[in-house]
Amino acid sequence: MPIIDVAVPVPLRQTFSYTSEQKLRPGVRVSVPFGRRQLIGVVTASYDDPVDDTESEVKLKAVTEVLDEQPLFDATLQALTQWLATYYHHPIGEVWATVMPTRLRKGGALSDSVPALTLTEAGQAEAQTPTLRGKKQLECIALLAQGPLASEEIKTKFSNVVLKALEEKALTTQTSIRLTEKQDWASFSLQQTPPTASTEQGVAIAAINQQASHFVPFLLDGVTGSGKTEVYLQVIEPVLKQGRQVLILVPEIGLTPQTVGRFERRFGISVGVLHSQMTDLARVKVWQQARRGELGIIIGTRSAIFTPLKRPGMIIVDEEHDESFKQQDGLRYHARDLAVKRAHTENVPLILGSATPSLESLNNALNKRYTHLTLSQRAGGASHTQLKVLDSRDQPLHAGIAQGLISIMRSHLQQGNQVLVFLNRRGFAPAVLCHHCGQTVDCKSCERPFTYHKSQGRLQCHHCGASRRMPEQCSECHSHDLQTSGIGTEQLEQGLGQLFPDIKQVRIDSDAVKGKDKLITRLDEINARKYQLLVGTQILSKGHHFPHVTLVVVLDCDGALFSADFRAAEKLAQLITQLAGRAGRASKPGEMWLQTDNPGHPLLQDLINNGFAHFARQALQERKLGALPPYSSQAIFRAEAGEAGLAANLLQQIRDCYRPSVNAAKGQFIGPLPCLIEKRQGRFRYMLVLQSQQRAALHSWLKHHLQEVEALPLASKVRWSLDIDPVDLS
DNA sequence: AGCACGCCGACT
DNA sequence: GTCGGCGTGCTC
């Protein structure tokens, strides 16, 4: 009887063998007995029993059910899945579970249609002139009036009672909706005349178009507002014309609708969208359509890199420096790196676009592994934002802003322009402390100060999300004299309200734009000039352009200047550059002020005087001298446990496992060290960094000793993980 | 990771 | 006398 190897979703670095009626193709899902449960796994290999030894077959269980006729993935994506398991040293079954849409992971069929609910004629009439008294029933009718909806989706919105009532009154009836539909997207015609490309854009477009038939990696290094998206649009066109599909990765920032709209308006074809907030069904629908070649363009966040494509033609990673492309738990893959790998195996061109390229990608461009395309001019002749530092030492501060800056803000506001104030700290104040003994009010499980949120009248821990009410007195000395310390966006907003009482302001941070679509609404209002003063966090630095903003103020750069994380400077420079790019247009040049206590800091000076491109090359030199990434490779073992000693001990033992090989090859250890945030949610976190200037050597050590590590008695007691090419050392 | 088996404390 | 604590061991 044939034997098949199956990758089951368990954290074990092996496959399991089963007997099967017939050989099965790799990539086919099967349901198998595993211990006392039933799991869905994926076939990785299939062969005749080499010894035809019935005794060995006795030990093997039989496959319960074969779920697919066709493999889920083609050979390329299967190879990529295998590569993921090897490169990230991750259990193959968990890798498969990560790369599959949830619905398929749970055993859902690859089908053309699913059961759905639709309105009957009576139902249509009811939707026109409501007569029902049931509020929920009317809501349901109104929803279905827009078209049929999959039963499993409607069940999450309405109770069975409601649905049954409607069906009994013959207002609704069972039907089905198609998950795939033929779309003749390759015969599209442009819906808009493309704008004439600038000289630089033209060069970039020509360079890409000339090499569009095979793998060439491009770094599209273009300042904000230089029209990178227009380059994407123009190089995509010939690819689509050939009937080839384009996969576009974008960061996780809730702005996907805007990008999608732009592509749809240009080509007049529907664009497949994949992001984390979609239902399982909607996601698998796009997945299947892409797999059948029914979509020409697929735009998605990190995990979209696993979308199967029938005729791949190009892969684009927009804002390639963005850290949201790195998964931070489970299989810690980097979607940008994977995009390079995938484009290579699919033999299609790859475009990495950014105004502030990661040092990794920039290095690849400088040493000619990537073709470097530069866009240095802003479209429409907009000038570059002027960067300046403001020395805040010995200056009186109001709401955390130096007097000098307030005057500058006032003059911009008086001219009717918008001003953006950036502060990367939400809440009212980052700490509450006792005026008497100096003790801060800390989160017990993280040992970090609580952030005070005045609007809720509560304290919130930004590390674990814990929340409690504001205490009456100090827990140490029982003094009632508690006061807040430091400034967050909430307080900044309040202070600015006092400084500029007649100016309309809006706050953009994750507290203020919590609801769905709220961010987009606010951003639209900003550009409609409903507000003049914009206060906010990170969110403001991502992807949105504010043409009426002429002044950007950054209040807290000092923290990052002296960080333990060697990437902090790179991140700050990217943030500042991205923020600077938000402002200004042709008729209104922008300026940007960085408020700092370290005006002479070399990083700030370099950025201000020479710009990001120069800063980045400088930073690369420093990385080279320090033998840091991208001039060396890193892997981090992390451990967390209720007792600090346990986590640190495990890492020490892991270090001992690796010591002989690492020392022999002149690799390095850093740690075990407590993580920057040592305690989170009541668990102590430690890390051990392994580093080598030879990537291959590092991977070979990891491979050879991982079994030893797994066999350590502590390894089953302490939660640990391995992070390859880490980007966040916290 | 699950999910069992297994061997010691406070309870209807 | 049992219910249940989580230690340890296995999963084709």
Percent of chain A residues topping a pLDDT of 70:
97
In this predicted structure, the answer to whether residue A628 has a pLDDT above a threshold of 80 is: yes
CATH 3.30.70.600: does it fit domain A633-724?
yes
Strands A386-391 and A397-398: unpaired
Rounded to whole angstroms, the Cα distance separating A503 from A420 reads 13
Model pLDDT for residues A486-523, shown as the tens digit of each residue: 888 888 888 888 888 888 888 888 887 787 678 888 88
Report how far apart, in Å, the C-alpha atoms of A602 and of each of A413, A591, A615 are.
31, 20, 10
In the 3-class helix/strand/coil scheme, how is A242-259 assigned residue by residue? Answer: CCCEEEEECCCCCCHHHH
Rounded to whole angstroms, the Cα distance separating A139 from A145 reads 10
Rounded to whole angstroms, the Cα distance separating A236 from A244 reads 9
Rounded to whole angstroms, the Cα distance separating A366 from A369 reads 8
Q: How far is the CA of A642 from the C1' of B11 (A)?
A: 30
How confident is the model at residue A132, as a pLDDT? 67
CATH class of A3-105: alpha beta
DSSP string, A322-369: -GGGB--SSS--BHHHHHHHHHHHHT--EEEEESS--HHHHHHHHTTS
Spatial CA neighbour of A489 closest among A509, A459, A462: A509
Report how far apart, in Å, the C-alpha atoms of A205 and of each of A201, A224, A369 are.
6, 17, 19
Spatial CA neighbour of A234 closest among A273, A260, A206: A206
Rounded to whole angstroms, the Cα distance separating A87 from A633 reads 12
CATH 3.40.50.300: does it fit domain A185-379?
yes
In this predicted structure, the answer to whether residue A671 has a pLDDT above a threshold of 80 is: no
A434 annotated among ligand-binding-site residues: yes
Sign of CA dihedral A391, A582, A612, A317: positive
Q: Within its chain, how far is the Cα of A520 from the centroid?
A: 18
Strands A418-422 and A549-554: parallel
- DSSP three-state, residue A214: coil
- For strand B, give the nucleotides within 7 A of a protein CB: 1-4
Mean pLDDT value of segment A2-20: 95
Least confidently predicted of A138-142, A533-537, A567-571: A138-142
In this predicted structure, the answer to whether residue A622 has a pLDDT above a threshold of 70 is: yes
Mean pLDDT value of segment A705-715: 88
Q: Within its chain, how far is the Cα of A185 from the centroid?
A: 29
Mean pLDDT value of segment A85-101: 97
A657 annotated among ligand-binding-site residues: no
Q: How far is the CA of A35 from the C1' of B3 (A)?
A: 8
Model pLDDT for residues A106-158, shown as the tens digit of each residue: 999 988 888 888 878 877 787 787 776 677 777 788 777 887 888 888 887 87
In this predicted structure, the answer to whether residue A313 has a pLDDT above a threshold of 90 is: yes
DSSP summary character for residue A715:
G
- Binned at pLDDT 50, 70 and 90, residue A272 comes out as very high
A464 annotated among ligand-binding-site residues: yes
Average pLDDT of chain A? Answer: 89
**Which protein residues have Cβ within 7 A of any strand B atom?**
A 10-12, 35-37, 719
Q: How far is the CA of A306 from the C1' of C9 (A)?
A: 35
Q: How far is the CA of A86 from the C1' of B3 (A)?
A: 28
A140 annotated among ligand-binding-site residues: no
Percent of chain A residues topping a pLDDT of 90:
46
A36 nearest nt, CA–C1' = B3
Write down the H helix ranges in A665-729: 695-711
- For chain A, give every residue range classified as CATH 3.40.50.300: 185-379, 382-426+488-625
How confident is the model at residue A89, as a pLDDT? 96
Mean pLDDT value of segment A10-19: 95
Residue whose CA lies closest to nucleotide B1 C1': A10
A461 annotated among ligand-binding-site residues: yes
Q: How far is the CA of A256 from the C1' of B7 (A)?
A: 57
Identify the CATH number of the domain defined by range A382-426+488-625: 3.40.50.300
How confident is the model at residue A22, as a pLDDT? 94
Q: How far is the CA of A647 from the C1' of C1 (A)?
A: 42
How confident is the model at residue A385, as a pLDDT? 82
Q: How far is the CA of A36 from the C1' of B5 (A)?
A: 13
CB A551 within 8 A of CB A408: yes
How confident is the model at residue A573, as a pLDDT? 93
**CA contacts within 13 A on the Cβ side of A80:** 25
CB burial of residue A316 (10 Å; 0-12, 13-18, 19+): buried
- Binned at pLDDT 50, 70 and 90, residue A344 comes out as very high
How confident is the model at residue A181, as a pLDDT? 80
How confident is the model at residue A79, as a pLDDT? 96
Rounded to whole angstroms, the Cα distance separating A519 from A510 reads 9
In this predicted structure, the answer to whether residue A380 has a pLDDT above a threshold of 70 is: yes
Using alpha carbons only, how large is chain A's radius of gyration in Å? Answer: 28
Mean pLDDT value of segment A222-251: 94
In this predicted structure, the answer to whether residue A58 has a pLDDT above a threshold of 80 is: no
- Binned at pLDDT 50, 70 and 90, residue A449 comes out as confident
pTM of the model: 0.93
**Which protein residues have Cβ within 7 A of any strand C atom?**
A 10, 12, 14, 16-18, 32-35, 59-61, 713, 716-717
How confident is the model at residue A539, as a pLDDT? 83
Model pLDDT for residues A178-219, shown as the tens digit of each residue: 878 888 888 888 898 989 999 999 999 999 999 999 999 999
Rounded to whole angstroms, the Cα distance separating A117 from A123 reads 11
In this predicted structure, the answer to whether residue A694 has a pLDDT above a threshold of 70 is: yes
- Binned at pLDDT 50, 70 and 90, residue A53 comes out as low
- For chain A, give every residue range classified as CATH 3.40.1440.60: 3-105
Give me A61's structure tokens.
């269980």
How confident is the model at residue A646, as a pLDDT? 87
In this predicted structure, the answer to whether residue A475 has a pLDDT above a threshold of 90 is: no
- For strand C, give the nucleotides within 7 A of a protein CB: 8-12
